[in-house]
Structure 1
Amino acid sequence: MEYNTKSGLLIALMGGMLAACGGSGGDKSDIQGSMTKTAAAVVACADWNATTIYTAGNCAVYQGKVYKAKWWTQNNIPGTEQWGPWELTTDTPTPTPTPPTPTPTPPTPTPPTPTPPTPTPTPVGGREIGSYFAQWGVYGRSYEVADIHTTKTPVNGVPTSVADQLTFINYAFGNVYAKNGGYECDMVTKAETGNTTPPPPDAGTGGDAYADYQRSPARTVDGKVIPWDAKLTGNFAQLKLLKQAHPNLKVFISLGGWSWSRYFSAAAKTDALRKQLARSCIKQFIAGDLPVQDGRGGPGAAKGVFDGIDIDWEYPGGGGQSYNTVDTVNDKRNFTLLMAEFRAQLDAQGKIDGKRYPLTAAIGAGGEKIAQTEPALYSQYMDWVNVMTYDFHGGWENTTNFHAPLYRDPADPATGNLIKYNTDDAIKTLIAAGMPKNKILLGVPFYGRGWKGVSPGPRGDGLYQAATGPAAGQYEAGIDDYKVLVNKAGTRWTHPVTKQLYLLTTNSEWWSYDDPATIGVKMQYVRDQGLRGAFSWELDGDANGALTSAVWKGR
C-alpha cells in the first residue's frame, strides 16, 4: 500500500517494528475474451527462430503449424504456453517462407546475458494465484504461517486449506543495506524509523531477523514444539514446513517494499554493484546462508525455504520514500540491467542446484510509474510482474474516491494522471508498453481505505464528497483490513462502473474495498484479458480465507 498518488505499499509500524507493502495505477471498453482465429489460407511465414523479435500480427511456422504473434515476443516457443504470446491459426505454410522483418531493438548497454529461461510450467488451473505474507503480521495481527495451513474454505464442497488455493507466497520483506563498499542483502533486527517526517538518517535500514528465523511462533504448521537447538526457526522454518505439507506451493523472498527501497537505485548504478547485490541476495535467500545470531542461522540454514526472488523497488525514477536513493535519468535503464543480473545469477545457481528459480517484480500501476521503466525490455528476464492495482486513492486526499477501481468512472472528479488511476487503464498501459499479457498478475487488496467526516451528498452515498481526514483504523489511520470492514455498520453499494464495493458507515466514515463478489468480477477480467493470474496484499487481512478463496475460484 502507499501514502501518495503512487503504486506501492504503505507501511504500518507494528510494536516498534516495520510494517509495509501496496500500489496505484476508464471508461469500460469492450473486453475481448479471446482473439478470433484467422480464416484458413496459404501464407508465407518463416520458421520460428528463438532470436527473432516478433510483434503483433507477425507469423511464424513451428512444427508445421502457423502461429500469429499477439504481442511483442522473443524466445517464447509457439504452442507451449496456454496464456502465451502465440495464437495457433488454421493457415497452411507455403513451402518457401518469407522471413518477417524484425522490429529493431532499442540499443542497450551490454548487460550480463542470462541463459534464456526455461518456460515456467503452467500452474494448476492454468494461472498463478499468490499473496504476500507480511513479516510483521505475527505481532499485532497475530497471524502465523501455520494459519495459512489450518484456515480452510469450501472448494467444490470440500474444506480446502488456504495454502492449497495459492500457487505462490511472497514473503515481505528482505532489506538491502550499504555494506562492503556496495549494497547487499543482510539480516538485522532493528526497528524501522522511516515512518516519520522528516525521516532520520537511518531511515529505511530496519529489519526483523528475529521474526524471520529466530522467533518461536505461537502456532506451528506441524503442531510440534521447535527444538531448542534448531538452526532455523521463526517464519522461515514454518514456510519450509508449509511447502512440505503443500508441495505445489512456492515461496519467494520479496526484496524492498515501500519502506525498504532506499538503496535500490544506488545498487543498480554499475555492473559491479549490480553483481554484488544479486550475489549477496542469492547467497542469503537461495543458498540459505544466514548470519549466525543467537544460535540460529549458519551456512545453508535457510536452504529450501525460497524458490525464487521478487523485486519490489518502489520506485525507479522516484515517487517513493523521501530518503530513497534516486537517479531520475538512469534508473529506467538500470532497472532493466538489475533484472538481467538477477536472472543471470539465478540461472547460474539453478545449474548448481538442478532447478529453476523464478524472478518476479512488484510494480507500480500508475502510468507515470510504468513510464519510468522499460517493460518491453526487462520483461524478457521476468517470469511475471505483480501489478499493484490498488492505493489509487486514500486518506491523504481530501475527497472520497475508490482505492482499487476496476474501471474508470466518467463522473470521477480526478484530474491529470489520476484520471487513469484504475486497474483497466493500468493493465492496458502496461501491455502497450510491451509487457506480455502472460506475464501480468493483477493485484487485489485485502484491505480498504477510508475517510471520516463524510456527508452523504446528493446521491446519499458519500462518493466523491469532502472529508475531514482519514478514518480511524485498527492499526493505522485511513486503512483497515477486510476482516474488520466486513463487520462495520452502514450502507453498502457496488458501483456500476468501477465495480468496487463502498460503504458509508453510521458514523460518517466512507470506505472502499473488495469483497468476494467484486473479486469475482476482477477475476473475470483476468480471464477475459488473458492475464497470467492475480495476487493479493496481504494474507492477514482476509476473513477466514473468504477473499483468497474468491481469487482462487475465479482463476
Structure 2
Amino acid sequence: MRARPFRNRITAVCAATVLAAPLMAAALPAAAEEAPASGLTVTYVESARWNTGYTGEIVVHNASGAPVSDWEIEFALPEGSRIHELWNATLAGDPSGYTITPPRWGATVPAGGTYTFGFNGLHRDGATDPLACTVNGAPCDGGATGPGHDFTSVAYYTQWSAEKRDYHVADLVETGSADKLTHIQYAFGNVNADGECFMSDEEGQGDALADYGHTVPADESVDGVADDPDQALRGNFNQLRELKELYPDLTVNISLGGWEWSRYFSDAALTEESRERFVESCIDLYLRGDLPELNGAGGEGAAYGVFDGIDLDWEWPGTDGNPHNVVRPEDRENFTALVQEFRDQLDEYGAETDRHYELTAFMPAGGWRLDAGYELDEVMPNFDFITVQGYDYHGTWETVTNHQSNLVTDARDPEPVISAELIRDAYLSRGVDPAKLVLGIPFYGQGWTGVEPGPEGDGLFQSASGPAQGTYSTGTEEWRFLREKVDSGEFELFRNDEAGTAWIYDGETFWTYDDETAVSQKTEWALGSGYSGVMVWAIDGDDADGSLMASIDAALRAGRP
C-alpha cells in the first residue's frame, strides 16, 4: 500500500496558461476593512512537468466582501517532491511542512478576487499535490469534500473486496477515489426465505464477520487506528463510518440482492403484509443499525449512521436471472408496490430523524426485461436515481467474441442487437427522464480463449473454444490485471472509439474491457445523453493509482459536451 494522503488536500483546477511573470493583486484603498480568515480558500494546479522538474501554480481565493492582506498557507508535499524556487510569495520550511506568506512588498487578496503565485519544483515521477493544506489555520478547500462537479458518481464496494481482493475501504482514500465519488453502494445485503433482510455468517448466505465483526488492523484502517476488539462496530461497516467522517458529503447505501441474493425477492414482494415486513426489517437492520450480536460486535443501534439509503438490486422481476430465483408473473406489479412501501417507510423514518433517505435501483439492459418487470411510470418518481446496466452485453456464456459494453452497435457485428444507445432509447421511449439515469461502467473484462485472428487479425467476432482464465474466476478479469497484460507487451490493444470499446488479443486469448480512454468516452456519452452521471462495478477492479476513477472524474469535471 502507498502512504495515505492527508484529508485536506488542495483542490486541483485547470489552468489556461503557465504563470510566466510576477503577478500583483489589484491595489485597494488603505482604509478597506480586512476579511476574516474563513473567507479564503486555495487551489493548486501542476501546470507543467519535465524530466525531474515541474511548475506549480497556487491561487488564493477571497469569497468575502472585504480584502485580506494577512494570509499564511501551510502544507506538506508527497515524498520525492519539493519546491525549488518560488515567486510572488515568501517560502519557509521543507517538504515535510512548508509555510508560504505574502512577499515583502505585500499581496492583498481583493474582495471577491484572487492572488496568484507560482513555483518550480522537483519530483521523482510521483504526485505533487500539496497535502494537509491550511490557509490561516482553516482547510484550503474551505472544508469541502467530494468531487468538483454536480454529477452523480457511484461505485459499488463489495462485501468481499477486502478479504478476497485485498482492496480495503482505506484504499478508496489512498487511491484518491473517495474524493471523486458522490455515492458508494455496499454490495450486498441478503433476503431470507421469510422475506426479510438478515445477517448471517453461513457460507453462501452472508459474511457478517466481514461486515461488522472483523477487527481491522491499523494498516488497513481508514484512520490508521486498529479496531478495538471490544467495540460494537468493526469490519467494513466501521471503515465506511470512518470514511464518511473524512467525506461527510459522501452517501453510502446498502444494495440488496444482486445476482446471487435475489432468490427470495419475489416472496418478499408478494403481499402487502410481506412487503411491509420486508421493508421494516431492512430499515431496522441497516438504517437504525440494529445488528445481531456476533463475535462480540453488534447490538441495538451499532451501525446507525453508516447507511444513508437503500439500493434495490432485484435481478430480475418477472424474468429469469439466477436459476434459483423465485419468479412470478405478478412480480411486475408487486415490484411497484414494494418500491412504494420502501419510499413510504423511508420517508416516515426520515421524519423521525429529520433527513432524507435515498432509494435507488439497479435496472437491466433490454426493453423486454423492462416490459416484463417494471411499471416505469409508477416507480420512477420514488427513486432518487437508477443505475442502468452498461456491461455484460456479451460474455463467455456465448461462443463468439464480442464487445461487452459498447455505446453503439459495431458495423462489423453480425448480430447488432444491443448497445447503450439502444438501451437508452428503450428507457426514454417508456417515458423515463434521462436525468434519473446513471450509466453503469465495468472495471473488469470478459474473455475467451481458442480464438482465431479472423479477417482483421484482431480476434473480434470470432468463434472461441471457451472462456479465458482470470485471476479470480473463469471468463472475467479485473482491469488492473488486464492493464498489466498490455503494459508487458504480451497482448495487442485494439479499440473502436465510436463504440467506446477496447479489447486485447494475443493470437489465442481475447479480452473485451474498458480502459482509461473507454471510460472517459462512456462518461462523455452519458452526460451527452442527459444522464445524471455514471456508476462503476466494482471499484476494486481499479489499479493502485485509481486510474479509471481519475479518467471518469476528469470527464465529469469537463461537464456535458
Q: Does 1:217 align with 2:216?
A: yes
| Displacement after TM superposition at 1:505 (Å) | 2.0
Could you tell me how far 1:353 is from its partner in structure 2? 0.6
Q: Deviations over 1:167-222 (max 9, x none)?
A: 0100000000123xxx1101001111xxxxxxxxxxxxx11101000012340000
Report the aligned-residue RMSD.
1.3
* TM-superposed deviation, 1:318: 2.0
Residue number in structure 2 paired with 1:308 = 309
Is contact 2:479–2:543 with CA below 8 Å preserved after alignment? yes
DSSP-derived class of the 1:474 partner: coil
Is contact 1:448-1:511 (8 Å) kept?
yes
Alignment of 1:137-176 (within 5 A): 137-151=161-175, 161-176=176-191
Alignment counterpart, residue 188 of structure 1, candidates 190, 200, 213: 200
Distance in 2, matches of 1:239 and 1:321, equals: 29
Structure 2 partner of 1:29: none
**Superposed counterparts of 1:59-208, under 5 Å:** 125-151=149-175, 161-179=176-194, 183-192=195-204, 206-208=205-207
Letter in 1 for 2:496: H
How many angstroms apart in 2 are the aligned matches of 1:175 and 1:425? 32
**Which residue type is aligned with residue 186 of structure 2?**
Y
Q: Does 1:351 align with 2:363?
A: no
- Structure 1 Cα separation of the partners of residues 243 and 355 of structure 2: 20
Partner of 1:386: 387
How do 1:324-403 and structure 2 match up within 5 A? 324-327=325-328, 329-372=329-372, 373-403=374-404
**Structure 1, unpaired ranges of 5+:** 1-121, 152-160, 193-205
One-letter amino acid of the structure 1 residue matched with residue 340 of structure 2: A
CA distance in 1, matches of 2:210, 2:418: 35
Q: CA deviation at 1:123?
A: 8.3
Report the AA paired with residue 149 of structure 1: V
Residue aligned with 2:165, SS: coil
Matched-pair contact (CA < 8 Å) for 1:288–1:302 = yes
Distance in 2, Cα, partners of 1:255 & 1:340: 16
CA contact under 8 A between 1:408 and 1:497: conserved in structure 2? Answer: no
Residue 123 to residue 474, structure 1, CA distance change in 2 (3 Å): closer
Q: Percent identity?
A: 41
**What residue in structure 2 maps to residue 37 of structure 1?**
none
One-letter amino acid of the counterpart of residue 239, structure 2 = Q
- Relative to structure 1, the CA distance from residue 522 to residue 472 in structure 2 (aligned partners, 3 Å threshold; closer, same or farther) is same
Q: 2: CA distance between counterparts of 1:496 and 1:547?
A: 17
Contact 2:209–2:235 at 8 Å: present in 1 too?
A: yes
Distance 1:366 1:319 in 2: 13
The count of corresponding residues between Structure 1 and Structure 2 is: 403
Partner of 1:21: none
Query: How much does 1:231 deviate?
Result: 0.2
Deviations 1:42-85 (A, max 9, x none): xxxxxxxxxxxxxxxxxxxxxxxxxxxxxxxxxxxxxxxxxxxx
Work out whether 1:515 is the aligned partner of 2:551. Answer: no
Matches within 5 A, 1:467-478: 467-478=464-475
The gaps in structure 2 that reach 5 residues or longer are 1-145, 557-561
Q: Distance in 2 between matches of 1:234 and 1:315?
A: 30
State the alpha-carbon separation in 2 of the partners of residues 123 and 363 from structure 1.
25
CA distance, structure 1, for counterparts of residue 193 and residue 396 of structure 2: 33
AA of the residue aligned to 2:203 = A
1:429-485, Cα deviation, whole Å (9 max, x unpaired): 111112211110000000000100111111111110010000011011110000000
Verify: 1:542 aligned to 2:542, yes or no: yes
Q: Which runs of 4+ in 1 moved over 6 A?
A: none
- Distance in 1, matches of 2:366 and 2:474, equals 23
Q: TM-score w.r.t. structure 2 length? A: 0.70
Give the greater-gyration-radius structure (CA): 2
Q: CA deviation at 1:496?
A: 4.3
How big is the shift at 1:499?
A: 2.1
Partner Cα distance (2:229, 2:322) in 1: 40
- The separation in 2 between residues aligned to 1:228 and 1:208, in whole angstroms, is 18
